[in-house]
Structure 1
Amino acid sequence: MASSSGTSSGSTTTTTTLTQNSGSSEEDLQALMDERKRKRMISNRESARRSRMRKQKHLDELMAQVTHLQKQNHCIAGNINLAAQHLLNVEAENSVLRAQLGELGHRLQSLNEIIGFLKDDGDDDHGIQNTSLDGFLNPFNLAYLNQPIMASADNMLLY
């Protein structure tokens, strides 16, 4: 911005200095903005890096938890299978015992009927005791009752 008269060289120098100062000021302002932008970019990169690290750490924790839960699940499934097998064994044994109970109940009923017949026959003799009855009622003389009782879970459907 020079003067229109051109006579004053001091005003020309002042105008040039202002122009240089304003140009320098714009450059300083631009440099300051560039510096802030660079710092913000570095800060954003660091924040993104921390975020990725947190995300990776969380993912690793979740994977460890999945592994732990899979191991627990496998262990529980094994325990369930073991308990189910034990249950089947107990049910089979229970069926055998029920069959034996039924068989023994029938035998007891038959023996009670035989004892009832023998006692009735002994009373017909009017007080004369039947000697064959003593041998029959003697618990040590019951060899014919020592037969094994055969029952299994396969035969349970037949009863």
Structure 2
Amino acid sequence: MGSLSGTSSGSSLLRSSASEEDLQQLMDQRKRKRMISNRESARRSRMRKQKHLDDLTSQVAQLRRENNQIITGISVTTQQYLNVEGENSILRAQLAELSHRLESLNEIVSFLNAGNGYFGTEPFNSAESGDEFSSNSWNCVYLNQPIMASTDLLQY
């Protein structure tokens, strides 16, 4: 009987160590599976990070191109503004000059009209001057009209 009990305890030890081995293999297998899963997850995370970085790099390049286009547009617009401002200065100077000339001419016409309505004290005689206009064409109505001028008449 003694041998029987000895073999039964040996077999339970075998079963116990076999089940411990199975348990250890199962734990090792789960550990490997978890390690593989973690590596795959880390790889996917690195890929997402790289894609995000690539997207941001592409966006930076696009924004720089847009910024350069805007700067170029501002440059062109500024140059056009300066050109128009220069033209306006010239036109203002021409307007002042023409206004001064017009005022002087209107003063001359007023002075000349202060006489008999003709140029000078004697009536204008077109036959004496050889002018093709008759003296009737120099009507007082036309002499009393102010002289009007526009800036496009003066070309420098």
- TM above 0.5, yes or no, is yes
Task: Give RMSD over aligned pairs.
Answer: 2.6
Choose which of 42, 47, 52 in structure 1 pairs with 2:41: 47
TM-score (norm 1): 0.75
List per-residue Cα deviations over 1:86-135 (Å, max 9, x = no partner).
000000000100111111111111000000000112359xx95355995x
Q: Distance in 2 between matches of 1:105 and 1:148?
A: 12
1:88 matched to 2:82? The reply is yes
Aligned to 2:57: 63
Q: How far apart are residue 27 of structure 1 and its match?
A: 1.1
Q: How far apart are residue 70 of structure 1 and its match?
A: 0.4
Q: How far apart are residue 24 of structure 1 and its match?
A: 0.9
Aligned to 1:28: 22
Gaps of 5+ in 1: 1-6, 138-146, 151-159
The number of residues matched between the two structures is 132
Question: Which structure has more RCO (C-alpha within 8 Å, separation ≥ 6)?
Answer: 1
The percent of aligned pairs where both chains have the same amino acid is: 55
1:8 matched to 2:2? The reply is yes
Q: Distance in 2 between matches of 1:123 and 1:49?
A: 105
Supply the AA of the counterpart residue of 2:24.
Q
Supply the AA of the counterpart residue of 2:3.
S
Give 1 or 2: higher helix fraction: 1
Q: Distance in 2 between matches of 1:64 and 1:110?
A: 69
Aligned to 2:11: 17
1:103 matched to 2:103? The reply is no
TM-score (norm 2): 0.76
